Structure 1
Amino acid sequence: MFKLSKEYIADLLLLSVTIFWGSTFIIVKESINMMPTFAFLSIRFWIASILLILMFSYKLKHLNRELIRDGVILGIVLFLAYAFQTVALEYEKASIVGFLTGLNVIFTPILSAFLLKKVPSVFSQVGALLAFVGMGMMSFKGGLSLSKGDLLTIICAIFVAIQIVLTDRYSRKHDTYLLTVVEITILAILSTLVNLASEPYLFPKKWNMYLIGSFLITAIFATVYAFVIQNTAQKYTTPTKTAIIFVMEPVFAAIFGYLLGGEVLSLRAYIGAVIMFAGLFMAEVGPALVKR
């Protein structure tokens, strides 16, 4: 009987995370048209933080100084990634922001090699290259100039890569559930501080069902589920493979951008999506074929 290894199960779970993240690009873009950016992030992450604390309250007694320190570092890096990405959505299409965030697939192997001394396999390197080429086809608009939204998203991609590499290091020595609690709580605190310093109010002036649904979807699925899975699954896979899997996020961002926001892409962009899937296939299936 065919049995999936822990690594493949971890990779499948990480892929499920990209579906939720991809679906939230258009949701967040619509939501920040209704209220200030950091006010939205504050509410989203406080809901997620409270849920995590309630879920893992029985573990809180095991918190220690080292775990809190590493969780704070992860939270700060992740906050910077979200901040740059969410502000970028004010200037660029959700699908394009999703594509450029995928640049972390190039930054992650480099950081992994230098910081973790982990050189990716040949299949992962080829997969990352294919993912990068496909992403370029999806996002390239015919000129070499970058918009403000593009630049903000590239900075976001760098912080995403740093977060992936640090998660690989910290998840192997700490309780991943507690690590997630600290990480998301720091996200909530920083979002609130920035909001109070730069925006006039925290809660939306007018509540509606779209905003309520947006908070619940982004908090429960795109935050609680996503980061519990990421912090746990990365114990069993590599940073480079994680980055290659996460590059599927822009593909799902394009799908949901079309379904929910009517954003239509070019034929070249769809070909790029196929190449990105080929890169993921290479990274996942290549090592198994060689073993056989």
Structure 2
Amino acid sequence: MKQRNAEILLIIVIASRSISYLLSKIGLNGIPPLELLAIRFALTTLILLLLFHRRLPLLTRQLWKAAGLLGTFLFACMACELISLTTIPSSTAAFLENTSAVWVLILMAVVSHHWPGKQVLTATSLLLIGIACLTLQGAVFHLAPGEIICLTGSVFYAIWICLTARLARQYDPLLLGILQMGFLAVYSTVGMVLFESPAVPADTTTWGAILALVFICSVFGFTFQPVAQKYTSAEKAGLFTALNPLIAAVLGVIFLSETFTPVQLAGAICILLGIIIVQLPEKYRCKTHSCQNG
């Protein structure tokens, strides 16, 4: 897969998960957070195994370990997100979780011992401003326990993005994505049994939210992100997550008859400018180095 196609796939994957905050908020009205995760990822794993069972003979011990590592950090991220959503608005959660773009840059700078260039830092600043304009909508922001939990989840998400970029190049990315869903199902089920009082959802609204999370956000979204990240950098994957609140806002305009406020419109412009700017360094490197890497 060419890098450009991989980045298009990554953007589509991010777009598919842009409704996850709203769907999770709906689902939490009917069941507790760990049960929601357990049902979601158990169904996801079952569906993926039915679809791709012929690839199972390719599993190795090393791939199991890699998927377990990814599943651990993604579960930590998802658990923090859903627990925080029980106490904070989904808009605040959307802002805090998408600060992962900054954490990815910091983590990669520490690992590579190389700080990002001015263009990447400028793009990151624009993306953060844009996310804040789109999500906070004038709300008074303070670091209460719910916000701290969600911010911790964004750090786990950033670690997951960085690990995915590395491990997807070493192993079959599709199997990696499938197996990590299985680990998420196991972790969520254990947590549900230990810390919650599970009950079968009784209303169609909760089940509708769960099924949408399964098919749109998990079967496609989380499973295929490793496939896309095999051919692009962790920094770009982190920065592309800024499209999440923008796409969610656009979907609200299209399907919920919402309107962009001037502040939100400014935020959308900042995000689009940031995404454009982050593409520029690579294009310039291609011109100066004769595109040696294609």
TM-score, length of structure 2 as denominator length = 0.88
**CA-based RMSD:** 2.4
CA contact (8 A) 2:74 2:156 kept: yes
Amino acid at match of 2:123: G
Aligned-partner Cα distance in 1 for 2:73–2:16? 20
Identify the match of residue 29 of structure 2 among 26, 33, 37.
33
Residue number in structure 1 paired with 2:55: 59
Paired residue type of 1:190: Y
Which structure 1 residue ranges, 5 or more long, are not aligned?
A: none
Cα deviation for residue 166 of structure 1 reads 0.3
Residue 14 of structure 1 contacts residue 246 of structure 1 at CA under 8 Å; is this kept in 2? no
Which residue is 1:83 aligned to?
Answer: 79
2:8 is aligned, of 9, 12, 20, to 12
Cα distance change of structure 1 residues 264 and 238 upon mapping to structure 2, 3 Å threshold: same
Aligned to 2:94: 98
* Equivalent residue letter for 2:77: A
Which of the numbers 204, 211, 219 marks the counterpart of 1:216?
211
Q: Distance in 2 between matches of 1:126 and 1:61?
A: 46
1:24–1:222 CA contact under 8 A, matched in 2: yes
Deviation digits for residues 239-267 of structure 1 (CA, Å, limit 9, x no counterpart): 11111111111223344567778988853
Which digits, 9 at most, give the CA deviation of each residue in 1:87-108, with x for residues without a partner? Answer: 1111222222112111111010
The offset of 1:58, in angstroms, is 1.2
CA deviations on 1:245-291 (whole Å, 9 max, x unpaired) are 11111223344567778988853343223211210111125533675
Could you tell me the percent identity over the aligned residues?
25
Which range is displaced more, 165-174 or 18-27?
Answer: 18-27
1:249 to 232, 241, 244: 244
Taking a change above 3 Å as real, the CA distance of residues 54 and 63 of structure 1, as seen in their structure-2 partners, is: same
Q: Report the equivalent of 1:150.
A: 147
Q: 1:106 to 1:18 in 2, by over 3 A?
A: same
Moved more, 225-234 or 69-78: 225-234
Q: CA deviation at 1:15?
A: 1.1
Residues 118, 231 of structure 1: alpha-carbon distance in 2 compared, 3 angstrom cutoff: farther
CA distance, structure 2, for counterparts of residue 177 and residue 79 of structure 1 = 18
Q: Structure 2, unaligned stretches of length 5 or more? A: 288-294
Structure 2 Cα separation of the partners of residues 21 and 142 of structure 1: 24
Which one-letter code corresponds to 1:267 in the other structure? P
Contact 2:23 2:210 (C-alpha < 8 Å) held by counterparts: no
